Structure 1
Amino acid sequence: MRILWTLPYLPWPTTSGGKTREYHLLRNLAARGHRITLLVQSKTGLDPQCRQAMEPWLERLIVLPRRPLRSLRTLLAVAFAPAPMLASINGYAPELERTFEALLQEHWDVIQIQHTYAFQPFERALQRSGKPFILTEHNVESALGAASYDKLPRWAAPFAVYDRWRYRRWEARVFRQAHELISVTEDDAKALSRLSGKPVSIVVNSVDCGYYASVHPNRESRHLLFIGNYEYAPNVDAVHWALQAIMPRVWALQPDVHLTLAGFALPAHWREQWPDPRIEWLGYVPDLRALQGRSALFFAPLRQGGGSKLKILEAMAAGLPVMTTRQGVSGLAVQNTEHYLGAEQAEALAQLISDSIDNPLRLAQIGEAGRAYVRARHDWSVAAAQLEGLYTRLTPPQPGARSCR
């Protein structure tokens, strides 16, 4: 099939869960023989490493720059446009709109739009062409609340209320126009179906199980690991909660436990805010396997967010036992004390870490149960097959065309 795929970010390097999902889905679809044109509006430029990672399996890669966040057009759109703040930041982009409209003159078997917040530049062209499109939404953005508005000052609270109302209207507007909706979890599918009045398909978040198969965590290392993209508010909240409320309790019980924090956009001032030598600050690590191999436990005290968490799936694929909250395993069919260790309060999480860190046999049981679960249900080949099946159902084969299966 010929697929036109749009994104509001470059999916390489895979510095976030969303980028990781897009990169692997695109790569797996290309490996199945589909011809993909990827249209990207990006706040970062296309460097040689990104070009080398992506161009070999794309028919075309078109990257347009996103205007600066503090531009006059963005500020005016955020204040006055019908689209909400996030959609205004990524929308009202004339060059992107013209490029997309020109691409619509070609024949496409599938037009795949990612995220409601990236839809605005494509709306008029799609309406004029009458061509159906598929929309994928990783989260119910209007329901994220604190995760979307934590960075706003306190005096902007009325604007946050207004913008959430604006986003609910925007979601309804986009959903009405989509031919098919895709979510990443069953809970999100139900929520999107309630909002849209349409059935919603699921394409699960997944992981490259073969890539992590060789990892053997060090169950006796007494090292905890957390990885995140710190441009995403739920990950920032998790670190603040861990260092303010949970780890001091852990250290009162187990003074020799260490915590490693890694991931993209790690704030430099955290090192000064929490100067404890038992905290290791690493920033972005392209290959996580060595880091996973020297850790005993993946600790993800997540209180906000949506969808399913790729960081959790990657840890499980590596056999690294996961300790988290219900939010941390949202969207996954896993059981507490069988596939992961979980609690909701700071005191309970601290006690759970203290009890578990002295029990490497228990950590091994949890880690291997998590690895088996991910292998069975969340390999990228599973997700790509789900998406390809949806494409096949929506696109009747043309006479004489070769099957994509």
Structure 2
Amino acid sequence: MRILWILPYSPWPATSGGKTRQFHLLRSLAARGHQITLLLHDKHPVTPADRQVLEAFLEQLIVLPRRPLRSVKTLLAGLFAPYPLLASVNGLSGELQDTFEWLLGEQWDVVQIEHSYTFQPYEDALARNAQPFVLTEHNVESALGAATYDRLPRWALPFIRYDQWRYARWERRVMRQATQVVAVTESDAEVLEKIAGKRVPVVVNGVDCDHFAKARPDPASRRVLFLGNYEYAPNVDAIEWALDEILPKVWARCPDARMSVCGFGMPASWRTRWPDPRIEWQGFVPDLLALQSSSSVFLAPLRHGGGSKLKVLEALAAGLPLASTAQGVSGLDLVEGLDYLGGQTATALADAVVRLLQFPEAAAPMGEAGRAYVRRAHDWSVAASQLEQVYASLAPVKHKEPACV
């Protein structure tokens, strides 16, 4: 198939769960013979080295810059446009609209758009050309804003309510136009089906299981690991909660435990805010195998978010025993007490971490059960096959007749 795939960020380097999903699905589909043109509308420039990685498996890569977040256009649209703030930030680009219109002059078997908040520049051209398209929604965005909105001042509450109302309307508007909406978890699919008014299949998040099978967690290290992209508010909330409330309770019983914090976008101020020498500030780690093999436990203290968490899937694939909230394992078919230890409060999560540290003979089988589950249900080959099934369910595209000369 010829696929036009549209993203609001570059999938490489894979500094977040969403980027990791995009990179591996694109590469897996290309390996199966599909020809993919990738249209990026990115706030960051794509370096020559990163472009080379992507062009190795793409038919074509088109990158258009996104205007700065604090532009006058974005500010005015955020206040007055009918679109929610995220759609204004990622849309209202004449260059993007023109490029997309030009691309629709070609024949595509599939047009795939990621995230409802990216849709605005493509809406008119899709309608004019009667072009079917697939929309993948990684979360139920209208229900996701708690971690972001909670950080705004109280005087902004009227705007928050207004923007949530706009997003609910926008979500319905976009999904009703999509030929097919795709979710990443069954629970999200149930919600999105009510919004879209149609069946919503699932394409799961995945893991390169062969790669992470090389990891061998070390129970003697007493290292607790957390990973996240800190441009994403639910991850910021999680690590703040962990370091303010959970780890002090762990250290009261396991004073030699260490907390390793890694991921993209880590604020420099955190080192001053939490100066405890037992906290290891790793930053972005391109290859996690060595760090996973020198860790004892993965902690997922997530209270907000949606979908399934790639960071958790990768930890499970590496055989790391897991302590998690219900949100941390959302969308995963895991059994608490067998595949992981759960907790919804700081005390309960601290208890889970301490148990995993103090009883490695019980933690190790739990880690291996998680590894087996991920290989069975969440290898990237599983996700790519699910997506191909979605494509196969679409009506065949009628190829345009060449113009007479």
TM-score with structure 1 setting the length:
0.97
Distance 2:154 2:363 in 1: 42
Q: 1:82-101 residue pairs with structure 2 within 5 A?
A: 82-101=82-101
Q: What is the match of residue 403 of structure 1?
A: none
Show the counterpart of 1:271: 271
Aligned partner of 1:259: which letter?
M
Q: Does structure 2 conserve the Cα–Cα contact (< 8 Å) formed by 1:100 and 1:122? A: yes
Identify the residue that residue 19 of structure 1 maps to in structure 2.
19
Q: Distance in 1 between matches of 2:148 and 2:29?
A: 31
Write the letter of the residue equivalent to 2:184: V
Q: Which amino acid aligns with 2:149?
A: Y
Deviation at 1:33, TM superposition (A): 0.3
Amino acid corresponding to residue 375 of structure 2 in structure 1: R
Displacement after TM superposition at 1:396 (Å): 3.5
Measured against aligned partners, the alpha-carbon deviations of 1:130-179 in whole angstroms (never above 9, x if no partner) come to 11111000000000131342443332121111100000000011011101
Question: 1:132 aligns to what SS in structure 2?
Answer: coil
Partner of 1:192: 192
- Alpha carbons of 1:110 and 1:245: their partners in 2 closer, same or farther (altered >3 Å)? same
Aligned to 1:168: 168
Which has the higher mean CA deviation after the structures are superposed, 241-250 or 291-300? 241-250
1:394 corresponds to: 394
Residue in 2 aligned with 1:252? 252
Alignment partners' CA distance in 1, 2:152 and 2:126 = 33
CA distance in 1, matches of 2:37, 2:153: 40
Identity of counterpart residues, as a percentage? 61
Q: Distance in 2 between matches of 1:284 and 1:17?
A: 13
The answer to whether the 8 A contact 1:296-1:363 is kept is: no
User: How far apart are the structure 1 equivalents of 2:87 and 2:145?
Assistant: 15
Query: What letter corresponds to residue 377 of structure 1 in structure 2?
Result: A
Aligned partners of 2:253 and 2:279: how far apart in 1?
Answer: 16
Q: List aligned pairs for 1:5-404, cutoff 5 A.
A: 5-396=5-396
The number of aligned residues is 399
Deviation at 1:359, TM superposition (A): 1.0
Shift of 1:341: 1.1
| Residue identity in the other structure for 2:245 | A
Deviations 1:282-336 (A, max 9, x none): 1100000100000000011111100000000000111111110100000001101
Shift of 1:362: 1.2
Q: Is the 8 A contact 2:206 2:379 kept in 1?
A: yes
SS at the partner of 1:38?
A: strand
Matched residues in 2 for 1:50 and 1:149: separation? 33
1:241 offset after TM fit, Å?
A: 0.7
CA contact (8 A) 1:38 1:60 kept: yes
How far, CA to CA, are the matches of 1:85 and 1:47 in structure 2? 28
The answer to whether the 8 Å contact 2:215/2:318 transfers is: yes
Partner Cα distance (1:43, 1:208) in 2: 28
Q: What SS does structure 2 have at the residue aligned with 1:217?
A: coil
The whole-number CA distance in structure 2 between the counterparts of 1:294 and 1:255 is 18
Counterpart residue identity of residue 330, structure 1? S
In structure 1, the residue matched to 2:403 is none
| Amino acid across the alignment from 1:147 | A
Deviations 1:336-385 (A, max 9, x none): 11111111111111122222211111111111000000000000000000
In structure 2, give the amino acid aligned to 1:220. A
Q: CA deviation at 1:85?
A: 0.3
Deviations 1:203-222 (A, max 9, x none): 00000001111110101211
- 1:242-285 alpha-carbon deviations (Å, 9 max, x no partner): 11111111111111111000000011101100100000001100
Gaps of 5+ in 2: 400-405
Asked if structure 2 preserves the Cα contact closer than 8 Å seen for 1:260 and 1:279, the reply is yes
1:395 Cα shift? 4.2
Separation (CA, whole Å) in 1 of partners of 2:241 and 2:208: 30
**In 2: Cα distance, 1:312 partner to 1:326 partner:** 12
Provide the rounded CA distance (Å) in 2 between the counterparts of 1:148 and 1:111: 30
Q: Deviations over 1:12-70 (max 9, x none)?
A: 01010100000000000000000000000000001022112100100000000000001
How far apart are the structure 2 equivalents of 1:141 and 1:241? 23
For the residue of structure 2 that corresponds to 1:315, the secondary structure is helix
Asked if structure 1 preserves the Cα contact closer than 8 Å seen for 2:11 and 2:23, the reply is yes
Q: In the aligned structure 1, how far is the partner of 2:123 from the partner of 2:271?
A: 44
- Give 5+ residue unaligned stretches, structure 1: 400-405
For 2:303 and 2:200, the matched residues in 1 are separated by 26
| Structure 1 match to 2:402 | none
**Could you tell me which amino acid in structure 2 is paired with residue 32 of structure 1?**
R
- Equivalent AA in structure 2 for residue 27 of structure 1: R
Q: 2: CA distance between counterparts of 1:37 and 1:330?
A: 32
Compute the displacement of 1:397 (Å).
8.5
1:122, 1:354 → 2: CA distance?
50
SS in 1 for 2:163: helix
Contact 2:135-2:181 at 8 Å conserved across structures: yes
